[in-house]
Amino acid sequence: MTRPLLSASILSADFGRLADQVQAAEAAGVDWIHVDVMDGHFVPNLTLGPPVIAAIRRATKLPLDVHLMISNPEHYLKQYVEAGADWLGVHVEVAWHLDRLLQQIKELGAKATVTLNPATPLSSLEVVLPTVDMVLLMTVNPGFGGQEFIPATWPKIRHLRQQLDALPHPPLLQVDGGVNLSNIAALRQAGVDVFVAGSAIFGGGDIAGNVRRLREALEKSRPIQPPA
Ligand code: DX5
Ligand code: ZN
C-alpha cells in the first residue's frame, strides 16, 4: 500500500476557466489531474481530446492521469502520450488485445492503467495484473460526473486488494465515481491507493476546502493490513 493519492477529475471543473481550475486544484494539494476522454460511442457523452490535454499539460506540473473512455483506443495511444499523459488508461471492454495495448502504452513512455466497468469481472485482469501499473475500478457507470457510488462494487474492491497483495510488485488500485467525504475513509480502509474525485473537489466552488476535508478524512482512516 502506498500513501493515498488524490486525482482531481476536471470533468466537474468549469471548462471556461480550465487552466485556472487545474491550478487551483494543484495549489490545494491534489496529487494528480484526472482527465476523462469520452467519445460518444463507448460512453454516452463527449468531452475532449489531445489538444485540450496539451493545454492542461502547459497549465500544471502535476502528473496527468488520462482515462480513455473511447472505442478503438489502439488508434490513439501515441497522440495522448505526446499530448502529455503520464498515466494512460484503457477499458478492458473495448480492448481486443488488452495485453498488447498495455505494453504499447509503456513502450510509449507512459504508465499503463487497466480499467473495468462496474459489471466487468476481475477475472478479465488475470493475465495483465503482474505487469500493469494501475487498476482502475469504476464505481459508477462511466460517462458522467456527479453519479452515486454503486455499493455492489465494495466486494470487488476488497477482492482485488487481496489479489494485489499477493503480487511481488502490485499495481496501484484506483477508484473512480461517486467518491466523496462520506465514503473516502472506508475506501482507504478497503485498500484503495488512488482516489479520483470530480464533484467532491470542484463542486460548490471551494476547491481548497474540499481538498482539505478529503485529506483530513483520509488521514483519519487506516488501511486494514492483510494477515501476515
Ligand atoms: C465518469 C468519470 C469520472 C467522473 C467522476 O465517467 O470517469 O472521472 O469525473 O466524477 P464524480 O467524482 O463526480 O463521480
Ligand atoms: Zn474518470
User: Residues near 148 by Cβ (< 8 Å), separated by ≥ 6?
Assistant: 140, 178
**What is the pLDDT, as a whole number, of residue 2?**
80
Catalytic residues: 36, 176
pLDDT bracket for residue 77 (50, 70, 90): very high
Reported as a single tens digit per residue, the pLDDT across 32-59 is 999 999 999 999 999 999 999 999 999 9
**pTM (two decimals):** 0.97
Q: Is the CB of 145 under 6 A from ligand 1?
A: yes
How confident is the prediction for the chain on average, in pLDDT? Answer: 96
166 CA to middle of ligand 2, Å? 27
Mutation choice for ligand 1 from 144, 183, 202, 210, CB with most ligand atoms inside 8 A: 144
Confidence of residue 225 (pLDDT cuts 50, 70, 90): low
**Mutual angle of helices 18-28 and 207-220, in 10-degree steps:** 40
Is 133's C-beta closer than 6 angstroms to any atom of ligand 1? no
State if residue 172 touches ligand 1 by the CB under 6 angstroms criterion. no
Q: What is the pLDDT averaged over residues 3-8?
A: 97
For the CA of 149, the closest atom of ligand 1 is 14
Let me know if 213 is exposed, middle or buried by CB neighbors in 10 A (0-12, 13-18, 19+). middle
Distance of CA 103 to the CA centre of its chain: 19
Confidence grade of residue 221 (pLDDT, cut at 50, 70, 90): confident
Residues lining ion ligand 2 (Cβ < 5 A) are 36, 67, 176
